[in-house]
A and B are shown apart, each in its own frame.
Chain A
Amino acid sequence: MIHGLASTLAEKIIARASGRGQVRPGETLVCRVDLAMIHDSGGPRRVAPKLAQIGAQVWDAERVVVVSDHFTPAADAESARILKLTRDWVRETGAAHFYDMQGICHVVLPEHGHLWPGMFAAGGDSHSTTGGAFGCFMAGYGATDMAGVLASGEVWITTPETLQLWIGGALAPGVSAKDLMLHLCASLGTDHNGQVIEYAGPALAEMSISERMVLTNMAAELGADTALIAPDARTMAALRATGREPPEALRGTDAQIFARWRSDADAPAARAEVDAGALAPQVAAPHSPANSDAVGACAGAAIHQAYIGACVGAKLDDLHMAAAVLRGRRVARDCRLLIAPASARTTSQAAADGTLATLTQAGAILLPSGCGACAGLGAGLLADGEICISTTNRNFRGRMGSPNAEVYLASPYTVAASAVAGCIADPRPLLAERGVARPVAGAA
């Protein structure tokens, strides 16, 4: 072990996973994987033939999590075939953890306590960066990479440089982590390949776990290798509430975990700063998250559909934000509001606390949990010439149905306010009428 040299959180996790004392940005090395996540779309149907080609079995069934979320529930016979194939593969391989139609992988994983600080995880999906909200180094990989992980328990990576992003100030009422990320897509650009973004600062400390997950999720839109947030008391409270234990080697008291899994103060890293307090709600115009600007820039633009869905934008906090706007109001005529809660647990929690009733009384149509329209696979797709405002994370051409449709991205507040107005609208006046003085998203 080399002593006395400062390391970032990412470097500490990669050093442990690669069995080195210390690693430096740019080093390409092989890491042992603590957990591998695959889903129905990129998972068994793509990796099983590759595993057979290699002639290998799953290296450790206990460390494999399979989530069916992209094709759920089956909308046609081909989707049904893919879901059945996934179930059969889980049975045959004995993969220990399977969530079939329980929600979107990036939400289901932490909900069920699979991610812990210090872990090195591999996810077969580009938004696997979300796991960084729990101090876990989790990047996204394609199907061949995941076949390699499942066969060997190992993956090659090039150690990223760390970009420490300090989030100063405090978010104003009606402004959320989603607005911050859309703003960053425009201001920092979407080409952060070779970097891991480590978020810190007072605005972050105040954010709920759900809001932190938005920051790490959309690090994928910044083009970063992945993102990290050092664990704090809120992280540990959320994880311990899941009832699952961390892997043996990563156990400890909260204090031990905080001391072990953080960047050293003098570790070499790039730095950037953003003032959360200066932000207005943001909207990304078609066809890139980087086309973001304050909502005023496109307020009044016509919409046909408002969509509240996806891993990034339909968690319980997100539904609470939408409900804060929609309570006692109605979705505009000629506009449809579709809501696909991010997980089965989200749905049951929102049913229990009355949120679902608020949403449906406003005229929202509830859709099944899963990737749905976000993946261009499920219900809620767009026709030629249709315009949608959406809480999802990507508005690339053709992603949500017709290549001639247009998708705007925004926060749940802004999407709900737009559904009420029938055109793109600033949520703050609607929230102010209600005297919502603080962001609704506060609970963990």
Chain B
Amino acid sequence: MRVSGRAWVFGDSIDTDVLMPGAYMKLPAAERARHCLESIAPDFAASVQRGDVVVGGANFGMGSSREQAAEALLTLGVGAVLARSFARIFQRNCLNLGLPALVCEDAGEIVQSAQLEVDVAEGWVRVQGGARWPCRPLPDFLVRMVQSGGLIPHLQQAQRARNVAQENA
């Protein structure tokens, strides 16, 4: 599973209130997403392209458990999130929605707008024509879950298998 796009670089401790301000939580997903990161990067939501990679510092996605923070990135077409470290719930939310979120200790080396390629299964990120850094690999079943589109499609498969087993019983 490969992702390629431009880097959007953010600092340490970007919280979910910045990613998805509480004031917009009642809006439909597509409208909500337009406010993603607006307090620190007003042009982000309008300019981000499908496949672009959000690069955070330490503790990316700290704060409330609101899944809308991860969902907003996905809605805007973000292809992967890399960070020096993640807040636990935010990383889970990304993976559960099928948005690859990988810990990359060297994320601080990546500069704004760099053209990146990320291999989710193998766990690395490469700057076009330049350096390549390792990302911490996910356990196999999480890679499969992300590849199948997240936890819901993953559980759909399990439920279908259960239904078949019941019919055959």
Interface residues of A (CB under 8 A from B): 28, 41-42, 46, 50, 53-56, 78-79, 124-126, 139-145, 147-148, 151-152, 156, 190-191, 193-194, 223, 225, 288, 290, 375-377, 394, 396-399, 401, 403
Contacts and interface: CB of A to CB of B under 8 A. Distances in A.
Contacts of A398: 17-18, 21-23, 39
Nearest to B86: A193
A140 B86 CA distance: 15
A163 to B, nearest CB: 14
Contacts of B13: 190-191, 288, 290
Contacts of A78: 26
A194 B58 CA distance: 13
Interface in B60-74: 62-67, 70
A396 B23 CA distance: 13
A54 B88 CA distance: 24
Nearest to A28: B139
Interface of B: 13, 15, 17-18, 21-23, 25-26, 39, 58-59, 62-67, 70, 85-89, 92-93, 96-97, 139, 141-142, 150-152, 155-156, 158-160, 163
A40 to B, nearest CB: 12
A431 B150 CA distance: 54
A180 to B, nearest CB: 20
B151 A148 contact: yes
Contact of B88 (A79, A194, A290): A194
Contact of A53 (B62, B87, B156): B156
A143 B67 CA distance: 6
A73 to B, nearest CB: 16
Contacts of B97: 144
A42 B93 CA distance: 12
A141 B23 contact: no
B65 A54 contact: no
Contacts of A126: 63-65, 89
B88 A142 contact: no
Nearest to B157: A54
Interface of A is mostly: loop
The 6 closest A-B pairs by CB, nearest first: A376-B22, A142-B67, A144-B96, A142-B93, A126-B65, A396-B17
Contacts of B21: 376, 398, 403
A53 B152 contact: yes
Contacts of B23: 376, 398, 401
Contact of A399 (B22, B62, B155): B22
Nearest to B140: A28
A144 B71 CA distance: 11
A145 B17 contact: no
A148 B155 contact: yes
Contacts of B142: 28, 156
Contacts of B139: 28
A148 to B, nearest CB: 5
B18 A396 contact: yes
19 contacts: A53-B156, A56-B159, A78-B26, A125-B64, A126-B65, A141-B92, A142-B96, A144-B93, A145-B92, A145-B96, A147-B155, A151-B155, A151-B159, A191-B62, A193-B86, A193-B88, A288-B13, A290-B13, A376-B17
Contacts of B151: 144-145, 147-148
A216 to B, nearest CB: 16
B110 to A, nearest CB: 19
Contact of B65 (A42, A191, A399): A42
A142 B87 CA distance: 12
Contacts of B155: 54, 56, 147-148, 151-152
A191 B58 contact: yes
B53 to A, nearest CB: 21
B158 A142 contact: no
Contacts of A46: 67
Contacts of B86: 193
B50 to A, nearest CB: 22
Given A42-B66, A55-B159, 12 more contacts: A141-B89, A142-B89, A142-B96, A148-B151, A148-B152, A152-B155, A191-B58, A193-B85, A223-B59, A376-B22, A396-B15, A399-B17
A142 to B, nearest CB: 4
Contacts of A401: 23
B115 to A, nearest CB: 29
A225 B67 CA distance: 16
B10 to A, nearest CB: 14
Contacts of A125: 64-65
A220 B148 CA distance: 30
Contacts of B87: 193, 223
